[in-house]
Amino acid sequence: MDSDIALGQVAAAPDLTRSRALRARLAELVPGGAHTYAKGDDQYPEHLAPLLVRGLGAHVWDVDGREYIEYGMGLRAVTLGHAHPAVLDAVRAQLPLGANFARPTELELRAAEDFLGLISTADMVKFTKNGSDATTAAVRLARAATGRDLVAICADQPFFSTDDWFIGTTAMNAGVPQAVRDLTVSFRYNDLGSVRALLDSRPGQVACLILEPVSVACEPAPGFLEGLRALCSAHGVVLVFDEMITGFRYHTRGAQAMLGVRPDLSAFGKALGNGFAISALCGRRELMELGGFPPAGRRRVFLLSTTHGAEGHALAAARAVLHAYQGEDVVGTLHRQGERLVRGVQAEIDTRDLGRFVTLAGRPCNVVYGTRDAAGTPSQAMRTLFLQELLLRGVLAPSFVISAAHSDDDVDRTVEAVAGALDVYARALVDGVERHLHSRAVKPTFRALT
C-alpha cells in the first residue's frame, strides 16, 4: 500500500481527482452510479469513494493508482482472493471452447456432479447468474408444490431478492403493487413462537419459509432451526435456506451441514464463482423436478430459463472453486485469519474503552461493525467517519469480510489502520463528529426517499 500514516497522525486526503471525475460521468450513464446498491456512492464518504480498476488477492487499486487492503470482497463473493490463479486458469482454458450454445454441454453435467457431490443434502441443481433468481425460483417452486400463495420471510435479515415478493417489504417498495406486497408475511429469527403464531393464523396458506440459517449478527438458538424444520413438515410448508453468504464461507457444505438441519430447497452463490457470475438453486428431487419434466399429471413450473445461466466460463470458475474447497481448508483459513483480525481490532477498541461505541458482530469469517455516537445511539455519521479514516489509511472496509488471501501482514496492517481511525473516532465523541468528518453521512440502502 502507499499509505504511510503513522498512528496518531492526522491523515491527509489523497488526490482522487480521476475517481471523482469518472464517478460523476458514471452517474450520468448508470442510475445511482452503480449496478448494486451496496456499492453506491451514498454508502461511502463522498470525497473518498474510489473507482477501482483491478484486484489481486486481498488488494485492490483505484483509477488514481491508490492501493487498498479490501474487506468487501465483492459483497462476500470472493473467498479465495481476487484473480485467483486456479480459477483464472480454468476460465482461460474454457474461453476458446465457446461460451454459449443451442444445447447443454458436458460441462454442465460435470459442474452439477461436482456441486451435488459437495452439497449432499440436495438431489438436483439448477444454475443461474445471481442470488435473486435462485431465491425467486425457490418461492415459485414452493407455491407450485403447495398450491399456496403466501411467502414467509425472516424479518430480522436484510435481503433475499430484487424481485417484488421481497422488495415490496422494504422501504424501497415503489413500483410494487399492494396486492403483491400482501402476499409476503414475516416471522422473527430465533422465535419459534412467532412461526407457530404465523402458521396457526394462516392455516394452509403459507407456501414457504425462507431465511438465512445463520444471521450475520446472531447465531441460531439451540433447537430453533430444528423446531423450524419440524413446524414446516407438520404444516406442509417448504423450508428454504438462503445460503448465499453462509455457503462456502461458514462451512464448505453450507451452514445446513454445519448445523445438521436439512432444508427442502437451498440457494447458493457468491463464493461459488469467486466473483464470476453464478448461483444455484438445489434441493429435494420431488420439488426440483417440477421445474423440468415432472411425473405424469403434475403441472410444470417455469423455474429458471436463462440465456446465460450455464455460460461456460462461469461453470468452469465454479468447478475450480469447488475443487479448491475440496483440496484446501479454505473455510479454516477464513476463520483463522478472521479471528486474527477480530482479536486485533477488539484489542484496539478495548484499549481506548470504546466498546460502547464500536461493536463487532458475526462469525470471524464474516464480521460487521456497528458505530454509535456519544449518546450511545446508532450513528451513520460515525460510521462515515470510521470509513473515512480507514480509507485514508489504505483500507477499504464496509465491513470486515475476510478472504483466504488476507495474509498475516494484511491483517496486522489493517489493525494499525483501525487504531489510527479509532483515535480520531474517540476525539469525535468528545468534540463532535462534524469537526472531523469531511463528507455527508452515508445512508441506509433501503430508504424511501433520496
**What is the tens place of the pLDDT at every residue in 19-51?**
899 999 999 999 988 988 889 889 999 889 999
Give the whole-angstrom CA distance, residue 390 versus residue 409: 16
Cβ–Cβ < 8 Å for 116, 182: no
Cβ–Cβ < 8 Å for 210, 151: yes
Based on the fold, state whether residues 389 and 246 are members of the same structural domain: no
The yes-or-no verdict on residue 10 having pLDDT over 70 is no
Type and span of the H or E element at 411: helix 408-431
128 lies in which domain range? 100-310
Based on the fold, state whether residues 365 and 288 are members of the same structural domain: no
Position 366 scores a pLDDT of: 96
Inter-CA distances, 48 with 30, 40, 306, 419, Å = 20, 13, 38, 19
Based on the fold, state whether residues 170 and 68 are members of the same structural domain: no
Type and span of the H or E element at 128: strand 124-128
pTM for this entry? 0.94
Position 2 scores a pLDDT of: 47
Rounded to 5 degrees, φ, ψ at 82 are -65, 140
| Predicted confidence band of residue 103 (pLDDT cuts 50, 70, 90) | very high
The yes-or-no verdict on residue 197 having pLDDT over 60 is yes
Give the whole-angstrom CA distance, residue 20 versus residue 31: 16
Q: Mean per-residue pLDDT for 275-297?
A: 94
Question: What is the per-residue pLDDT across 220-272, written as a single tens digit (0 to 9) for each?
Answer: 999 999 999 999 999 999 999 999 999 999 999 999 999 999 999 999 999 99
Position 11 scores a pLDDT of: 60
* Residue in the structure block whose three cell numbers are 454509535: 372
Position 299 scores a pLDDT of: 86
Please, what is the average pLDDT of the chain? 94
In a domain, 180, yes or no: yes
Inter-CA distances, 89 with 192, 220, 229, 317, Å = 47, 39, 41, 9
| Predicted confidence band of residue 277 (pLDDT cuts 50, 70, 90) | very high
- The CATH number linked to 342 is 3.90.1150.10
Q: Mean per-residue pLDDT for 173-197?
A: 97
In a domain, 442, yes or no: no
Position 326 scores a pLDDT of: 94
What does the radius of gyration of the chain's CA atoms come to, in whole angstroms?
23
Give the whole-angstrom CA distance, residue 70 versus residue 76: 11
| Predicted confidence band of residue 332 (pLDDT cuts 50, 70, 90) | very high
In a domain, 318, yes or no: no
Based on the fold, state whether residues 212 and 343 are members of the same structural domain: no
Question: What is the per-residue pLDDT across 89-100, written as a single tens digit (0 to 9) for each?
Answer: 999 999 999 999
Position 295 scores a pLDDT of: 83
The yes-or-no verdict on residue 418 having pLDDT over 80 is yes
Position 240 scores a pLDDT of: 98
How many Cβ atoms sit within 10 Å of the Cβ of residue 362? 22
Based on the fold, state whether residues 213 and 281 are members of the same structural domain: yes
The yes-or-no verdict on residue 286 having pLDDT over 70 is yes
Q: Please identify, among 280, 310, 340, the residue that sits at the C-terminal boundary of a domain.
A: 310
In a domain, 288, yes or no: yes
Give the whole-angstrom CA distance, residue 134 versus residue 272: 13
- The CATH number linked to 303 is 3.40.640.10
Based on the fold, state whether residues 172 and 276 are members of the same structural domain: yes
Position 6 scores a pLDDT of: 41
Based on the fold, state whether residues 290 and 193 are members of the same structural domain: yes
82, amino acid identity: H
Based on the fold, state whether residues 33 and 130 are members of the same structural domain: no
Based on the fold, state whether residues 297 and 228 are members of the same structural domain: yes
Based on the fold, state whether residues 277 and 343 are members of the same structural domain: no
Q: Please identify, among 254, 280, 310, the residue that sits at the C-terminal boundary of a domain.
A: 310
Q: How far apart are the first and last CA of the chain?
A: 35
In a domain, 167, yes or no: yes
In a domain, 10, yes or no: no
Based on the fold, state whether residues 239 and 203 are members of the same structural domain: yes
Question: What is the per-residue pLDDT across 233-247, written as a single tens digit (0 to 9) for each?
Answer: 999 999 999 999 999
State the DSSP code for 57. B
Q: How many domains does the chain have?
A: 2
Based on the fold, state whether residues 231 and 159 are members of the same structural domain: yes
Beta bridge partners of 240: 210, 265
Give the whole-angstrom CA distance, residue 26 versus residue 49: 13
| E-state strands within 195-251 | 206-211, 238-242
In a domain, 3, yes or no: no
One DSSP character per residue, 223-290 reads: THHHHHHHHHHHHTPEEEEE-TTTBTTTBTT-HHHHHT---SEEEE-GGGGTTSS-EEEEE-HHHHGG
Give the whole-angstrom CA distance, residue 342 versus residue 363: 9
Helix (H, G, I), strand (E, B) or coil at 387: helix
In a domain, 446, yes or no: no
Q: Please identify, among 244, 276, 310, the residue that sits at the C-terminal boundary of a domain.
A: 310
Which grid coordinates belong to 170?
Answer: 422494504
Cβ–Cβ < 8 Å for 240, 210: yes
